[in-house]
Amino acid sequence: MSSTIDRSAAQGSRNVWEMAQAQLDDVALLLELNPGIHAFLRSPKRVLTVSVPCEMDDRSYRVFEGYRVQHNMSRGPAKGGIRFHPDVTLDEVKALAMWMSWKCALVDIPFGGAKGGIICDPKNMSMRELEHMTRRYTSEISIIIGPERDIPAPDVYTTPQIMAWIMDTFSMMRGYSIPGVVTGKPIAIGGSLGRDKATARGCMFVIDEALRELGISADGARVAIQGFGNAGLHAAELMSVAGYKIVAVSDSRGGIANAKGIDVKKLIAHKSETGSVVGFSGGDAMSNKDVLECDCDVLIPAALEKVITAENAPRIKAKVVAEAANGPTLPEADSILFDRGIMVLPDILANAGGVTVSYFEWVQDLQENFWDEEEVNARLKRTMVRAFKATYEKAKQHKINMRRGAYVLAVGRVAEATMLRGVYP
Ligand code: GLU
């Protein structure tokens, strides 16, 4: 390891940024990456911290802390979502931005990586408060975003409505409509058909491919899903229609299980009535943690980071783990799962469907020419299948796990672009 790189962060207790850096260090060795380029890729290009003052409904003022991190822009404008969550930290946003660089490179779309976040509790804020906070945050980060610079999108607890406010605020500041500044927008203002389900659909496409390689029939394959937000809910819906059997589902409040298969339509209705999957009559209560270890063929962590650890990895029963969430598996758990013959479809592959259709949305916005949903879904499928096959071949060729295979491809591409461009000045 070169002296230009301080690896101290990769040892000891792992916060999520240390985990992201450790994943890069691991593949840098495999790729025999030039030490200078390794150091370059190991830190973000640009970090912006903003104070977001906001008038609350009771007329008091609160100041939220927000971030926008651009990790790498060698392959194109930076791309990545914005997260509203009480546990957001700058380190988390840095990790998520780095993962976006690898994700965009793996599916080979011409973007770099970025991420944003605000430390807030959106579940306890009114629509008016959310709108004020979002608009002021947009104004604060407007100095570094734009269709040709950095394009935000939804992430945990951010919605198409929030994207609409971002688009409108940015547009009003410039004096004309600029739909390409953000993706995941409502269809009425330049969103793409198929974007809402794209993360889940892309995840299903790579699971289909993985099961085919493993000789497991998708028809009736048992699926457990942790998280019932945009990714988890739509995965349950699409996969149950496609013939998979959804046997367990959880959200932040708890979970439910039914070995005979959950009626997903009814579960979605229950969630929209009560705000949670908890209390659904078509299954038995199961804790959020137990969902990870339940008897199933496919496990989809679709919530937050660091849920699969060295402690629970030995008890995971799934044959395939598809990371719809970003960063759900700790590096030490990765090796345990690999040794146990469990195929982990890494986040930068398994959830890349979202950013892939974000790319399609941005292309449609720039061309002012919109595609039908069949076209979006067909292009998404081609992209996901191609990325799966390339990753699978790499992993097989080097006898490494799918994450390392994906990283070899993705980091290799970002490193190549960075090297070709050289260092300015
Ligand atoms: N937040 C999503 C992700 O982590 C989507 C990002 C985007 O569409 O730009 O991939």
Q: What is the pLDDT of residues 188-223, one digit of tens each?
A: 999 999 999 999 999 999 999 999 999 999 999 999
| Minimum-distance ligand 1 atom for the alpha carbon of 80 | 9
| Minimum-distance ligand 1 atom for the alpha carbon of 103 | 10
% the chain with pLDDT above 90: 96
The predicted pLDDT at position 12 comes to: 37
Across the chain, mean pLDDT equals 96
Task: Please indicate whether residue 305, judged by its CB atom, sits closer than 6 Å to ligand 1.
Answer: no
Task: Please indicate whether residue 80, judged by its CB atom, sits closer than 6 Å to ligand 1.
Answer: yes
> CA distances (Å), 154 to each of 65, 134, 147, 157, in order?
18, 12, 16, 8
- Kindly list the catalytic residues: 115
Task: Please indicate whether residue 106, judged by its CB atom, sits closer than 6 Å to ligand 1.
Answer: no
Q: Is the dihedral of CA 28, 33, 36, 40 positive or negative?
A: negative
Using CA atoms, how far apart are residues 316 and 302, in angstroms rounded to an integer? 16
Task: Please indicate whether residue 81, judged by its CB atom, sits closer than 6 Å to ligand 1.
Answer: yes
pLDDT tens, position by position, 304-348:
999 999 999 999 999 999 999 999 999 999 999 999 999 999 999
Cα of 258 to ligand 1 centre, how many Å?
31
Using CA atoms, how far apart are residues 213 and 207, in angstroms rounded to an integer? 10
Using CA atoms, how far apart are residues 381 and 198, in angstroms rounded to an integer? 10
Task: Please indicate whether residue 355, judged by its CB atom, sits closer than 6 Å to ligand 1.
Answer: yes
Cα of 376 to ligand 1 centre, how many Å?
17
Task: Give me the mean pLDDT over the 272-279 stretch.
Answer: 97
For residues 165 and 132, the answer to whether their CB atoms sit within 8 Å is no
| Minimum-distance ligand 1 atom for the alpha carbon of 99 | 4
Using CA atoms, how far apart are residues 403 and 383, in angstroms rounded to an integer? 18
The predicted pLDDT at position 13 comes to: 46
For residues 154 and 82, the answer to whether their CB atoms sit within 8 Å is yes
**Domains assigned to the chain:** 44-178 (3.40.50.10860), 198-341 (3.40.50.720)
Q: Is 395 exposed, middle or buried (0-12, 13-18, 19+ CB in 10 A)?
A: buried
pLDDT tens, position by position, 148-167:
999 999 999 999 999 999 99
pTM of the model: 0.96
pLDDT tens, position by position, 66-117:
999 999 999 999 999 999 999 999 999 999 999 999 999 999 999 999 999 9
Q: What angle do CA 401, 402, 403 make, to 5 degrees?
A: 95
Task: Give me the mean pLDDT over the 248-268 stretch.
Answer: 97
Task: Please indicate whether residue 74, judged by its CB atom, sits closer than 6 Å to ligand 1.
Answer: no
Q: Which of 71, 100, 192, 384 to mutate to test the pocket of ligand 1 (most atoms within 8 A of CB)?
A: 100
For residues 386 and 329, the answer to whether their CB atoms sit within 8 Å is no
Cα of 154 to ligand 1 centre, how many Å?
6
Task: Please indicate whether residue 77, judged by its CB atom, sits closer than 6 Å to ligand 1.
Answer: no
3-state secondary structure (DSSP) of residue 246: strand
Q: Whose CA is nearest to atom 9 of ligand 1?
A: 80
Those residues with Cβ within 8 angstroms of residue 11's Cβ, 6 or more apart along the chain or in another chain: none
For residues 47 and 124, the answer to whether their CB atoms sit within 8 Å is no
Task: Please indicate whether residue 192, judged by its CB atom, sits closer than 6 Å to ligand 1.
Answer: no
Cα–chain center distance at 128: 27
Q: Cβ of 398: how many Cβ atoms within 10 Å?
A: 12
Q: Which of 181, 199, 305 to mutate to test the pocket of ligand 1 (most atoms within 8 A of CB)?
A: 199
Q: What angle do CA 176, 182, 188 make, to 5 degrees?
A: 70
